[in-house]
């Protein structure tokens, strides 16, 4: 199991974020991307997950498909969970691939894609 220092992991997430395709970046606005060690209990409950090892990332907010134009929205939030991701990866290359996949999965939720659509795209 890998164990990176927080700043090393955050740098990896930032690299993955900056490498998102331009056609996706054009739609990202008012979204915070944060790193936490583990998902909190209430997050696990909301995702119907039993083990904190099973949740690699989460999206909190109102997807672009559901937004109205009448009121300003609070920032949406994508959370990437460092320790669960590290626990499933044997190499730095594996970890970066999983971080990228997790980030794209959560961006997909922000854009309004459900789990079935993400699965079809290979971001389960």
H helix intervals, 1-124: 6-18, 22-25, 41-46, 82-87, 92-110, 115-120
- Mean pLDDT, the chain, rounded, equals 91
Query: What confidence score (pLDDT) does residue 69 get?
Result: 63
Question: How confident is the model over 16-47, as pLDDT tens digits?
Answer: 999 999 999 988 888 999 999 999 999 999 99
Query: 88 to each of 20, 35, 53, 95, how far by Cα in Å?
Result: 23, 17, 9, 8
Which residue segments constitute the domains of the chain, with CATH numbers given? Answer: 6-66+73-120 (3.30.2010.20)
Query: From CA 101, how far away is CA 107, in angstroms rounded?
Result: 10
Q: Which range is most confident: 63-72, 77-86, 113-122?
A: 77-86
């Amino acid at each position: 199991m890998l164990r990176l220092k927080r700043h090393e992991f955050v740098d990896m997430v930032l690299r993955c974020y900056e490498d998102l395709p331009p056609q996706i970046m054009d739609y990202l606005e008012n979204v915070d991307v944060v790193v936490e060690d583990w998902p909190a209990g209430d997050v696990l409950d909301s995702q119907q997950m039993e083990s904190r090892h099973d949740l690699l990332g989460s999206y909190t907010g109102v997807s672009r498909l559901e937004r109205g134009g009448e009121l300003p929205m609070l920032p949406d939030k994508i959370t990437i969970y460092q320790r669960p991701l590290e626990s499933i990866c044997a190499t730095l290359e594996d970890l970066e691939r999983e971080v990228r996949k997790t980030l794209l999965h959560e961006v997909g939720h922000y854009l309004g894609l459900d789990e079935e659509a993400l699965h079809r795209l290979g971001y389960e």
